[in-house]
Amino acid sequence: MNFENIIKGDVKEVEFLVTDEMVREFAKITGDNNPLHLDEEFAKKSIFGRRIAHGMLVASLISKVLGHDFPGAGTIYISQSVKFRKPVYVGDDVKVHVEVKDKNAVRRRVFLVTNVIDNGAIVISGEAEVYLPV
């Protein structure tokens, strides 16, 4: 997307299904083999009652939206804050909601509110700063 076309209040939402395959691949890539994510029997005995997705896996879906959907190709991450509010379970459908909070034309920076929503509840909240090169 062209920097000049981005305006405060622009919103993009993208839905994702958090699959068992995603969780297992994320564990393989990162080495985070916490049984809360991988072992149903272990997870049943936890406060969650079943397997949950890695928080950082779910947060990384924000990166997919920023780099592919909005603002899109060429976007460079400067910063991202995240707060994990609720668990996301394997098999959940989540929605990444990105909203333009502000922008700086001189520095070509866009400031975004980045939330992940599951079943109507914000499960991850945060903000991002991105740079859009020429």
Element (H or E) spanning 8, and its range?
Answer: none
- The tokens for 21 are 């395959």
Position 33 in a domain: no
CA 41 from chain center: how many Å?
Answer: 27
* Total domains in the fold of the chain: 1
Q: Is residue 50 part of a domain?
A: no
Q: What is the pLDDT along the chain (134 residues), one digit of tens a residue?
A: 789 999 999 999 999 999 999 999 999 999 999 999 999 999 999 999 999 999 999 999 999 999 999 999 999 999 999 999 999 999 999 999 999 999 999 999 999 999 999 999 999 999 999 999 87
pTM for the full model? 0.94
Query: Does 45 map to a domain?
Result: no
Q: Residue 2: what pLDDT? A: 87
pLDDT at position 71: 95
Q: What is the pLDDT of residue 1?
A: 75
Helices (H), 1-134: 20-30, 35-38, 40-44, 55-64
Which residue range forms the structural domain that includes residue 78? 3-17+55-131
Asked, for residue 23, whether it belongs to a domain, the answer is no
